[in-house]
Structure 1
Amino acid sequence: MGEDMVRPYLRDGPMVPALPADAASLLRPYLQTSGRVEAADDELEIEAQVVTSAYGLNSFGRLAFEHRDIVALCATTMSVAEVAARLALHIGVAKVLVADLAALGCLVVERPDPEPADDLDMIERVIRGLEGIR
């Protein structure tokens, strides 16, 4: 029997095509967010800074493992985008999970200033930082 064909459940059942190796990775984000694709806070910015709250630390043992990973990681303040990158999550999944934790009170979210930055020194530092990671 080839690797591209399997017999599901029954030894002598019909041969069916095997799922591609990356099929599980397509299903996992759906499971991590309980099928949701939009965050509870649909305006959560990827640059918003998040940090674990005291309640989050106290609730650590009762959280699902994806939530635990985020609560542990956010012991140090970081952006939603950093959470996604460090945990190898799709940014949409990270936004849903972070918004869930914030709604539970496990994370404190600090929103970015809505006014555009007029500080040229800061803009130049950001550009140099981005060029440095290229």
Structure 2
Amino acid sequence: MRDPDSAEAFVRPFVVTAGRTIPLVDGLRIETLVQARPAALSAPLRFEERTVVQLCQAPHSVAEIGTALRVPVGVAKVIVSDLAAAGHVTVRAAHDLSTAAIERIRDLVRAL
């Protein structure tokens, strides 16, 4: 039986994004907030996309999504942009973030 935390269970980021490194939606930043539409819960989505939709029933930053998926922020941006282009999530700039929110995002980025 394989340990799910072993190197064998690791999926390379380029597999998750089909080799793409540039998001379809321009301007996504680590602090960009993502919120999924409730209807997206029933959409036929891949594993990572489904995880983002479930997580983002409440707004989460791109950095938080990357941490939850255990992928680099660039990969999270590609996944979020695909979902946004398909209309499954909305993205918005995080204006007037509190110091606590900025520190939380910083810590999440460091954890990657």
- For the criterion TM > 0.5, the same-fold answer is yes
Structure 1 residue aligned with 2:78: 96
User: For residues 19 and 26 of structure 2, what CA distance do their matches in structure 1 show?
Assistant: 16
1:44 maps to which of 28, 50, 53: 28
Output the TM-score relative to the length of structure 1: 0.63
The equivalent residue for 1:68 is 50
Which residue is 1:57 aligned to? 41
TM-score, normalised to structure 2's length? 0.74
What root-mean-square deviation, in Å, do the aligned CA atoms of Structure 1 and Structure 2 show?
A: 2.9
Computing the radius of gyration from Cα coordinates, the structure with the larger value is 1
Q: d(CA) in 1 for partners of 2:47 and 2:101?
A: 34
How many positions carry a matched residue from both structures? 101
* Aligned positions of 1:116-131 closer than 5 A: 122=98, 129=103
Q: Distance in 1 between matches of 2:89 and 2:66?
A: 15
Amino acid at match of 1:36: R
User: Which structure's relative contact order is higher, taking Cα pairs within 8 Å and 6+ residues apart?
Assistant: 2
Paired AA for residue 19 in structure 2 = G
Alignment partner, residue 14 of structure 1: none
Q: Give CA deviations for 1:99-131 in whole Å, capped at 9, x if unaligned.
A: 100111111111234xxx6xxxx55x567x56x
Deviations 1:11-61 (A, max 9, x none): xxxxxxxxxx85884x621110010011111311111111111331231xx
SS at match of 1:109: strand
Is there any run of 5+ residues in structure 1 with no aligned partner, and where? 1-20
